[in-house]
Amino acid sequence: MLTLTDLTTTGGDGNGKTVDGHRLILDCVARIAEESGLKAYLVGGPVRDRLLGVVAADLDITVVGDAMMVAERLAAEIQGRLTVHQRFGTATVVAGSLAIDLVTARREAYPSPGALPIVEPGGIADDLARRDFTINAMAMPLPAVSDQLVDPHDGSADLTAGLIRVLHDGSFRDDPTRILRAVRYAARFGFAIERETADLMGNALSARTLSALSGDRLRHELERTFHERDPVAPLQLADNHEILSAIHPALTARHLPAATREPVAPLAWLAALVWPLDAEEGEALSARLNAPSDWARVIADTARIRRSSPALGDASKPSEVCSLLDGMAPAALRGALIMGRGPAQERISSYLSHWWSVAPRLRGHDLLALGVPAGPEMGATLRELRRARLDGETHSVQDEQELARQWVQAPDKTAN
């Protein structure tokens, strides 16, 4: 059975410096709260992670009382940067690479499924009762001097058993993002979704609960999935539970490889996920996710790249590859590489590692000096010089000067 012994002195991953840093900050929060007659707790993810022996990336603190005041004093004492989110009654203090989130303990009421909750101040029990899963609904009173753990929902037992369990039947209806969060945590920790919770999730999906969710909130959860160490696992789990098809009927994870060789940027995972979608489906997905321009571009370019795949595979010259891929979002290109190593992928790989950056050796002013007029002709000549260099027809500045001179004398030879 896991206990809280030495929670603040060992992190279990050998990262002693981080743990010491966390401990200093927690001690500081405890002192500030005590001096103000308030009670402060470490809550949620960091408690879960410490019980698992993992050092949490961030610290989440709940204050029974005025968290803003504690945040202001903490920022001043540790010389951190304070950001106050008035609307949510939360504050973040950033010190170096560590973010400390402080929130006033609160109870929540959900006016309608998928909507943001109405909040009012509450006690620590209220604050834990509003949370998503039992393993995220534990608190550690500060200062952490003993094995005290506030665990009214038996989160530590579920942590030991490896179970993701909601706190009440209405949880997914209150907050449909929890549907995606459940598979994310299950995949990250190798846990099972407890049977009743899985049933509730299935019911919520059948009731089309996800459609009540705004595009922004849905996209934000997907983004968090792409930031996981191994996004394929939660995406496949989401597919198995028919969560992806509830977002868009064409969305699946079946085409994703079991493992990738190297770390991949989050937006490349988006590209990998939308690989099977055609342009129209991609547009519908972008609309559903209220996609900002970078997401929309990756989704649209992925459809273009997939459509170009046969031509890419057949391309025999680097310049042909460039004319198919120039202007595509790099994340879309990287996403295509996640899909394995066919002839198209080989060309994309060469493009990303080299061809995209190939430019003519001569610049505009060199061409002006050779008699190429400014304007469209200049553009066409530069493009043609790039093409010649890409395809190995020129090897030096002299070769390019020679070509440019020929074209000046016989301009119709400058193709396109």
- The contact set with ligand CTP (CB under 6 A) reads 44-45, 60, 131-132, 136-137, 175, 177-178, 181
Least separation in angstroms between residue 103's CB and ligand CTP is 9
Q: What is the 3-state secondary structure (H, E, C) of 250-263?
A: CCCCCCCCCCCCCC
Q: Which is nearer to ligand CTP, 166 or 324 (CB)?
A: 166
Asked if residue 167 lies in contact with residue 127, where contact means CB atoms within 8 angstroms, the answer is: no
* CB closer to ligand CTP out of 60 and 301: 60
Give me the long-range contacts of 211-217 (CB less than 8 A, separation at least 24): 211/246, 212/112, 212/113, 212/114, 212/115, 212/176, 213/114, 213/176, 213/177, 214/114, 214/290, 215/287, 215/288, 215/289, 215/290, 215/291, 216/290, 217/114, 217/177
Instruction: Report in angstroms how near the CB of residue 156 gets to ligand CTP at its nearest.
Output: 14
d(CA 279, CA 179): 27
- How far is residue 252's CA from residue 121's CA, in Å, rounded to a whole number? 41
Give the nearest distance from C-beta 205 to ligand CTP in angstroms: 16
Here the tokens at position 135 are: 């393993």
**Which of residues 45 and 231 has its CB atom nearest to ligand CTP in the complex?**
45
The least CB distance from residue 166 to ligand CTP, in Å, is 10
Shortest distance, CB of residue 196 to ligand CTP, whole angstroms? 18
Residue 137 or 296 with smaller CB distance to ligand CTP = 137
According to DSSP, residue 242 is labeled: T
Nearer to ligand CTP (CB atom), residue 117 or residue 276: 117
d(C-alpha 211, C-alpha 209), whole Å: 5
Q: Which is nearer to ligand CTP, 133 or 407 (CB)?
A: 133
Identify whether the C-beta of residue 165 lies closer than 8 Å to the C-beta of residue 67: no
Query: 289 phi and psi, to 5 degrees?
Result: -90, 5
CA 403 to chain centre: 48
Cβ closer to ligand CTP: 162 or 249?
A: 162
Q: Shortest distance, CB of residue 194 to ligand CTP, whole angstroms?
A: 16
Our CB check for ligand CTP shows the closer of 225 and 381 to be 225
What residue has token string 């792409």?
Answer: 226
| HSE (side-chain half, CA atoms, 13 Å) at 21 | 17
- How far apart are CB 344 and ligand CTP at their closest, in Å? 35
Distance CA 184, CA 230 (A): 10
Closest separation between CB of residue 289 and ligand CTP, Å? 17
Give the whole-angstrom CA distance, residue 229 versus residue 232.
9
Supply the minimum distance, in Å, between the C-beta of residue 75 and ligand CTP: 20
Question: Strand (E) positions, 16-175?
Answer: 39-43, 59-64, 81-85, 90-95, 98-104, 106-109, 118-121, 139-142, 163-164
Taking the complex as a whole, how short is the minimal distance between the CB of residue 136 and ligand CTP, in angstroms? 3
In the complex with ligand CTP, the residue whose CB is nearer, 35 or 196, is 196
Q: CA-to-CA distance for 231 and 211, rounded, in angstroms?
A: 23
- The smaller minimum CB distance to ligand CTP, of residues 96 and 375, is found at 96
